[in-house]
Chains A and B, each alone.
Chain A
């Protein structure tokens, strides 16, 4: 089975990219491709506990959590970005795995395609 890694670097609340990252990843199951979603840079705000775009009337991201659980989609977050953007606590409803940039270098080579969004 081929593997694909979606790397989301845009912040939520004003851009649709974090939602698109998950939407596109879920679509991969229909193609028998195993997706993973990695958040880096401002994208890590997406999985912070206190982030809720609907507070300002924008499209929420938390709606995808039930599908992540259903499909068992891997959600990765870069440790260095969490520190950079001072994310104190992750939303436990996102089953995230925090990995370092060094570990990401290995992870990238385990995937056939890496797509930034």
Chain B
């Protein structure tokens, strides 16, 4: 399942989504979900496949070195959407 996180770690629903996700799920941090990637809040979930959307990272003034997870571009996101017919967002 593909899990999209678009709000920061103050958002209860995003925290809940991460909590119910499984190790086989793919998580993509988009929009303000990027803030998870710069925080220790993401640490309990690093055993999942987690990516951050690079354009949303750059728009918020961060670089890859600031993030705890790898980045993908829009083409990479489309690939993940195609590869995961089920989604949570």
Residues of A at the B interface (CB closer than 8 Å) are 7, 9, 40-42, 101, 104-105, 108-109, 111-116
Partner of A40, one of B16, B85, B88, B89: B16
The answer for the CA separation of A113 and B13 in the assembled complex, in Å, is 16
CA distance A111 to B19 in the complex (A): 17
Interface of A is mostly: mixed
Q: Are B87 and A41 in contact, with the CB atoms below 8 A?
A: no
Q: Which residue of A lies closest to B24 (CB)?
A: A109
Inter-chain CA distance A109–B19, complex, in Å, is 14
A7 / chain B contacts, CB cutoff of 8 Å: 13
Find the residue from B19, B22, B86, B87 having the highest chain A CB count within 10 A. B86
Q: Which residues of B contact A113 (CB under 8 A)?
A: 86-88
Cβ-defined partner of B20 (8 Å) among A42, A105, A115: A105
From known contacts A9-B12, A115-B89, infer whether A101 and B17 are also in contact, taking CB-CB under 8 Å.
Answer: no
Interface string of B68-86 (1 = CB under 8 A from A): 0000000000000000011
CB distance from A65 to the nearest CB of B (A): 25
Is B1's CB within 8 Å of the partner chain A?
A: yes
- Assuming A41-B12, A108-B1, A109-B1, is B86 touching A116 (CB within 8 A)? no
Ordered nearest first, which 3 A-B pairs have the shortest CB separation? A114-B88, A9-B13, A116-B13
